[in-house]
Amino acid sequence: MAIPVRSAKDIQKLSKANKIVAKTLKYLEDLVKPGISLLELNALGEDYIHSQGAIPAFKGLYGFPAGVCTSLNEVIIHGIPTDYKLKEGDILGLDIGSKIDGWYGDAAVTVGVGKISKDDEELIACSKDTLYHAIDYIKAGMRFKELSYEIENFILSKGYVPLRSFCGHGLGRKPHEEPEIPNYLEGNNPKQGPKIRNGMVFCLEPMICQRESEAKILEDKWSVTSTDGLHGSHYEHAVAIVNNKAEILSVE
């Protein structure tokens, strides 16, 4: 399947959807404190997205029951909100999608609840630093596999491993489009496959495990952990390729 190339007008519309996601994430980050429940955060996030004229894109997507993925501690992605109340020292991933005027936004952060351990600070920093390193590394003309290979090497250099079986993705009139962008090299040759071109829009989302890369899906059929059972972290931005480099769309 061909990877869509967007017009400047299309990118403006995608930027609008992604700015709403960025504002919602910032709003929720400020509310992440001991005592608030995951269900409360989800309701507040959904309400905020609606207040911006958009709809929560994840609610009902593939059957997901909420508008905000709340991934707690060892859950790296796709955590379902529950009545669990946050405690000092927890870490929480917030992943949000929006839809407005037929276009989608998508981004994620991992944040600490109150004072967290130094190990968790470093774990969160790895996902964030990997994301921004990857964005800076992108140049039009390089291959997506080269980008995946660079992401993997950066994660490994920090002493962590990337979660397997899940990946970044294209973004547009659907929440998940071509290409798939793993956080690791598939195969042996990064000089293969589609090239990154001006006008492409996609999400990068490093998902960080401490020891084991293999994914485990929990009994709720959604929450994804590493088989090592240790805390993980996740950061995500939507980017557009403009003037041969990546511009972040999911910023306020």
One digit per residue, pLDDT tens: the chain, 252 residues? Answer: 699 999 999 999 999 999 999 999 999 999 999 999 999 999 999 999 999 999 999 999 999 999 999 999 999 999 999 999 999 999 999 999 999 999 999 999 999 999 999 999 999 999 999 999 999 999 999 999 999 999 999 999 999 999 999 999 999 999 999 999 999 999 999 999 999 999 999 999 999 999 999 999 999 999 999 999 999 999 999 999 999 999 999 999
DSSP per residue, 165-223? S-EEEE-SSSSSEEEEEESS--SS-TT-SPBP-TT-EEEE--EEESS---EEE-TTSS-
Write out the two tokens for 12.
């403006």
Prediction pTM value: 0.98
Q: Residue 124 carries which DSSP code? A: H
Which domains does the chain show, CATH number per domain?
8-248 (3.90.230.10)
Whole-angstrom Cα distance, residue 185 to residue 143? 11
**Are β-strands 55-56 and 68-72 bridged in parallel, bridged antiparallel, or unpaired?**
unpaired
Write out the two tokens for 171.
């973004």
Whole-angstrom Cα distance, residue 154 to residue 23? 28
Residue linked to tokens 């939507």: 238
